[in-house]
Amino acid sequence: MIDTRLQKIDEALTALDGEALSGKAALWLWAYREMLHETLTGMHQLAHLLGIAEQVAGCWREPVDIDASARRFMAPAVLADRRLPAVLGSVGDVIAPETRIALWRAEYARLVAATLQGMHALAGKHRIADRTAADWLAG
């Protein structure tokens, strides 16, 4: 599954090419947190829909804290994780509870890993990797 959100972030970062690196890094960091939050929230909801929330409760963490005072760079719908319906379909088709739980966990890990990998690739592409790493570690 391709994470289409990465293309939107790439387009937004490209639009800021004339801006200071700090502006691009701020957008990247904000999008990074928002995307992880969307995936976390969606997977949590899917666990409830699939009836396995109690069994997988240890797999998710508290949602990433979003700074309420931070400006919004994009409409929230842009960062909604469009990969989740496919996860619901593939996990929901499994009858055996143990297999359903294992598949949910694997999908959750895969989605988060893909988001992390894609966002770090964008930081490199837009030459803000050093700046975003410093911001991430400071935050």
Q: What single string gives the DSSP state of each residue in 72-96? A: P-S-GGGGS-TTHHHHHHHHHT--S
Residue 6: how many CA atoms within 13 Å on its side-chain side? 18
Structure tokens at 112: 């988060």
Distances from the Cα of 107 to the Cαs of 9, 42, 57, 81, in angstroms?
23, 12, 15, 13
The pTM of this model reads 0.81
User: Which pLDDT value is given to residue 2?
Assistant: 81
User: Which pLDDT value is given to residue 88?
Assistant: 94
Q: What is the pLDDT along the chain (139 residues), one digit of tens a residue?
A: 688 999 999 999 999 987 788 889 989 999 998 998 899 889 989 999 999 988 887 665 544 455 555 677 888 788 889 999 999 999 999 999 999 999 999 999 999 999 999 999 999 999 898 877 655 555 5
CA–CA distance, 47 with 73 (Å, rounded to integer)? 29
